[in-house]
Amino acid sequence: MEFYNLVDKIVRDNNSHAKWLNTLSFMENAGARKISACEHPTKVSLIQLKHACEEHRHAYYLKKQIGKINVESCRTYESNELLAPIATRQYLHALDVKACKYLHTHFDLTKEELKYAAYLFVTYAIEVRADELYPVYQEVLTKTNSKVMVKSIILEEEGHLEEMIHQLDGFSENWKPHAEKIIEIEKDLHIYWVNAITEEVMKPDYV
């Protein structure tokens, strides 16, 4: 199923829409926690702090939007309140692990340097994905006259992508081919995630 059509189907059902928002909130929160986990004990840049802060805010914002659908829905990140919970929980972690293995093979880095490199490349790949995902979601929200909005997130994610490019420029002159490899890894994980969500919401007995 084309991604736009999948999101359209999700948004038209209040239960699945609430879970979709909660799933995105979970992933934004997981991203923020990953960014913080990659911080050097002392050499933490202002941009890294800003990015973690904004990802946490996105998680909060998306969680709060659920109230426009059902104030009693999706109060936690328990599996029954997420779409495709197993694939959702594995997504970012798997990307981080696979990216670390790739970077370890292609760069001579200390443990702390590898953590920072993973932050740069994984976050870049996720921001590229966010720049595709959120506009499609907003398009569906606008078409269906939903009270939910993600325009503010779209603007901030565009800024994040620019910041990641600037940081990657400082990391290596030859970062782009490596970033493409990480994006390829992310693409496979994204396809798996979308397929898992599609399989769940297309079940005849889906509630």
CA pair distance 121, 179, nearest whole angstrom = 6
Residues 57 and 155 sit within 8 Å (Cβ to Cβ) = no
Amino acid at 99: A
CB atoms within 10 A of CB 166: 10
Amino acid at 87: A
CA pair distance 137, 129, nearest whole angstrom = 12
Tell me the per-residue pLDDT of 145-170, one tens digit each, with 9 for 90 and over: 999 999 999 988 888 888 899 999 99
Written as six digits, the tokens of 142 are 């606008």
Q: What global pTM score does this model have? A: 0.94
Task: Using the CB atoms, write b or e for 5-30: b if 16+ within 10 Å.
Answer: ebbbbbbeeeebbbbbbbbbbbbbbb
Question: 47 to each of 29, 33, 36, 113, 146, how far by Cα in Å?
Answer: 17, 15, 12, 17, 33
CA pair distance 130, 153, nearest whole angstrom = 9
Q: What angle do CA 199, 153, 76 make, to 5 degrees?
A: 55
| Mean pLDDT computed over every residue of the chain | 93
Average pLDDT (187-191) is: 97
Tell me the per-residue pLDDT of 23-61, one tens digit each, with 9 for 90 and over: 999 999 999 998 888 877 888 888 889 888 999 999 999
Tell me the per-residue pLDDT of 9-22, one tens digit each, with 9 for 90 and over: 999 999 999 999 99
